[in-house]
């Protein structure tokens, strides 16, 4: 892995909290992600399943974690299975995790080769009453491609049909939103890499540069700072493309007078950052661009103050919508009289601000969380209002990453230039 070693207390503590959520005499199983194919004999770079990483720190394919708190023997309360190493694999793929290394990374003392799984698991599962199995239960998760966890569910129910089955995802959705100190430091590192990259870009952007050239600069800075790469496909959108929310083609030449919306974030040790800035390609905002920009910035500053313990995403988004409504009226794109009689289930501001203002951030960019759960200390959210006026080719989104702490909000991206004057000064220097 490119990242530096992580204190395994993170994974030891995560497993303790996870085990405490299991019903009596239950066994839980988590699988790694697959190595995804392309075509012919090609494969994509491996990216670990975030749940098994959260509980073990193992960042390798063909890994399995078993947690059985009520096991008869101490050594079987936590078991890790990793891909067997041999000379052929070492020659073709490089070193894999040894048993000793797996223990050092995870804190799990009992480690077997993955090929031994059924032999070890079968006698244990017959002593358990319940089996917790994992699935992607993210509201917007794409489950088209069958995962190792999905295949294991089929296999398990066929081999052990009389057991009671439980949803492991419910526990992960409960645990993962609140970050530990170690997790916060990893997210901070991802944000720091992103900050360095924005500074690099402000000296590079100019009329005539292509969006993909800017994207190339991002990859260079990320990889040079121990990141695997972007936490998600970078959005480098100039001119009319700024009004396309998930524009990732990045193939237009930036023109004098354009705005440039850049939405990207570094990954570090599987933890993510998610930042957006909108800048003038020629280094100077027009008066109209500034008006819209300052409206978005005012909404963001107000929204950040509402990211505090006790609030909920549902109520928060309603309040942000009201603030955005007033700003759009001030910009002359919404009619105040029509707003008074609008359908509250389909507010008029949605034409210019179509997405949510915040989401959980962590091991996944859109991290696990319940929109009805009250905000708590230790949660990390993005704050990303935007205004998109297609008729004017003005799309502006501003996004920071915010930690909720006992001392108030902590902006993990506060050093990334956001005021118009600072952006213009940095682009001119």
Following DSSP, what letter does each residue of 359-406 receive, concatenated?
Answer: -B-SSSSS----TTSPP-TTBEEEE--EEEEGGGTEEEE-BEEEEEET
Whether 217 is in a domain gets the answer yes
Give me the pLDDT at residue 393, please.
97
Q: What is the pLDDT of residue 108?
A: 98
> pLDDT truncated to tens, each residue of the chain (429 aa)?
899 999 999 999 999 999 999 999 999 999 999 999 999 999 999 999 999 999 999 999 999 999 999 999 999 999 999 999 888 888 888 888 999 999 999 999 999 999 999 999 999 999 999 999 999 999 888 889 999 999 999 999 999 999 999 999 999 999 999 999 999 999 999 999 999 999 999 999 999 999 999 999 999 999 999 999 999 999 999 999 999 999 999 999 999 999 999 999 999 999 999 999 999 999 999 999 999 999 999 999 999 999 999 999 999 999 999 999 999 999 999 999 999 999 988 999 999 999 999 999 999 999 999 889 999 999 999 999 999 999 999 999 999 999 999 889 999 999 999 999 999 999 998
Within 8 A by CB and 6+ apart from 20, the residues are: none
Residue 237: closest CA among 218, 215, 256, 204: 215
Ordered alpha helix ranges (H), 38-167: 50-56, 87-93, 99-106, 117-125, 148-159
Q: Are residues 325 and 273 in the same domain?
A: yes
Question: Considering the domain boundaries, does residue 233 fall inside one?
Answer: yes
- Same structural domain for residues 149 and 185? no
Asked if residue 105 belongs to a domain, the reply is yes
Domain end, chosen from 156, 175, 194, is at: 175
Specify whether the CB–CB gap between 238 and 207 falls below 8 A.
no
Does residue 279 share a domain with residue 355? yes
Query: Are the C-beta atoms of 335 and 328 separated by less than 8 Å?
Result: no
Which residue among 157, 175, 193 closes a domain? 175
What string of DSSP letters covers 220-242? HHHHHTT--SBSS--EEEEGGGG
Q: For residue 106, which of 10, 3, 19, 228 has the smallest C-alpha distance?
A: 10
Q: Are residues 284 and 326 in the same domain?
A: yes
Residues in the chain: 429
Q: Please give the residue range of the domain that contains residue 17.
A: 9-175
Residues 354 and 422 reside in one and the same domain: yes
Same domain membership, residue 258 and residue 124: no
The domain that contains 25 carries what CATH number?
A: 3.40.350.10
338 and 261 in a common domain? yes
Q: Which two tokens stand for residue 339?
A: 């707003």
Please check whether residues 270 and 402 belong to one and the same domain.
Answer: yes
- Between helices 9-19 and 99-106, what is the axis angle to 10°? 70
This prediction's pTM = 0.96
Q: Count Cα neighbours of 168 within 13 Å in the Cβ-side half-sphere.
A: 25
Structurally, the chain folds into a number of domains equal to 2
Closest by Cα among 266, 177, 259 to 211:
259
Are 299 and 160 part of one and the same domain? no
Whose tokens are 């988590």? That residue is: 30
Question: Could you tell me which residues are beta bridge partners of residue 126?
Answer: none
The CA-based angle 163-167-173, given to 5 degrees, is: 160
The answer to whether residues 69 and 147 belong to one domain is: yes
* Contacts by 365-368, CB closer than 8 A, 24 or more apart: 365/231, 365/232, 365/265, 365/272, 365/274, 366/138, 366/140, 367/176, 367/177, 367/272, 368/138, 368/172, 368/173, 368/176, 368/177
- Given the structure tokens 């509250």, which residue do they identify? 344
Select from 143, 159, 175 the last residue of a domain: 175
Roughly how many angstroms between the first and final C-alpha of the chain, as a whole number? 36
| Within-domain flag for 115 | yes
Q: Cβ-count burial of 44 within 10 angstroms (0-12 exposed, 13-18 middle, 19+ buried)?
A: exposed
Determine phi and psi for 139, rounding to 5 degrees: -55, -30
Question: Measured in whole angstroms, how far is the alpha carbon of residue 244 from the centre of its chain?
Answer: 21
CB 278 within 8 A of CB 398: yes
Place of tokens 């990893």: 186
| Cα–Cα distance, 274 to 380 (Å, whole number) | 11
pLDDT value, residue 272: 98
């Amino acid at each position: 892995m490119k990242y530096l070693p992580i204190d395994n207390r993170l994974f030891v503590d995560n497993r303790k909290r996870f085990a405490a959520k299991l019903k009596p005499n239950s066994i839980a199983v988590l699988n790694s992600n697959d190595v995804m194919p392309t075509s012919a004999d090609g494969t994509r770079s491996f990216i670990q399943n975030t749940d098994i990483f959260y509980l073990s720190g193992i960042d390798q394919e063909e890994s399995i974690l078993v947690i059985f708190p009520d096991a008869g023997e101490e050594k079987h309360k936590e078991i890790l299975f990793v891909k067997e190493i041999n000379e052929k694999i070492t020659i073709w793929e490089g070193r894999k995790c040894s048993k000793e290394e797996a223990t050092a990374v995870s804190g799990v003392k009992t480690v077997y080769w993955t090929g031994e799984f059924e032999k070890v698991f079968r006698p244990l599962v017959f002593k358990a009453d319940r089996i917790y199995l994992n699935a992607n239960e993210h509201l917007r998760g794409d489950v088209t491609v069958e995962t190792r966890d999905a295949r294991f569910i089929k296999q398990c129910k066929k081999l052990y049909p009389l057991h009671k089955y439980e949803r492991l995802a419910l526990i992960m959705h409960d645990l993962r939103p609140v970050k530990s100190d170690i997790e916060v430091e990893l997210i901070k590192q991802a944000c720091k890499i992103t900050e360095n990259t924005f500074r690099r870009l402000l000296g590079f952007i100019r009329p005539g540069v292509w969006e993909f050239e800017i994207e190339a600069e991002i990859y260079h800075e990320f990889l040079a700072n121990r990141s695997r790469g972007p936490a998600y496909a970078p959005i480098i959108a100039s001119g009319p493309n700024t009004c396309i929310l998930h524009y990732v083609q990045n193939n237009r030449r930036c023109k004098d007078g354009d705005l440039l919306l850049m939405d990207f974030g570094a990954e570090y040790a599987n933890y993510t950052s998610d930042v957006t800035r909108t800048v003038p390609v020629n280094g100077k905002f027009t008066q109209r661009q500034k008006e819209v920009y300052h409206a978005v910035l005012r909404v963001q500053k107000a929204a950040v103050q509402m990211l505090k313990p006790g609030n909920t995403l549902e109520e928060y988004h309603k309040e942000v919508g009201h603030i955005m409504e007033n700003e759009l009226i001030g910009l002359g794109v919404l009619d105040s009289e029509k707003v008074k009689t609008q359908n509250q289930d389909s507010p008029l501001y949605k034409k210019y601000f179509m997405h949510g203002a915040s989401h959980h951030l962590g091991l996944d960019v859109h991290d696990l969380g319940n929109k009805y759960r009250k905000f708590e200390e230790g949660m990390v959210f993005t704050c990303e209002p935007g205004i998109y006026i297609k008729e004017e080719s003005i799309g502006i989104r501003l996004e920071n990453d915010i930690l909720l702490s006992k001392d108030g909000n902590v902006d993990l991206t506060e050093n990334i230039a956001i005021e118009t004057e600072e952006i213009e000064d940095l682009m001119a220097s």
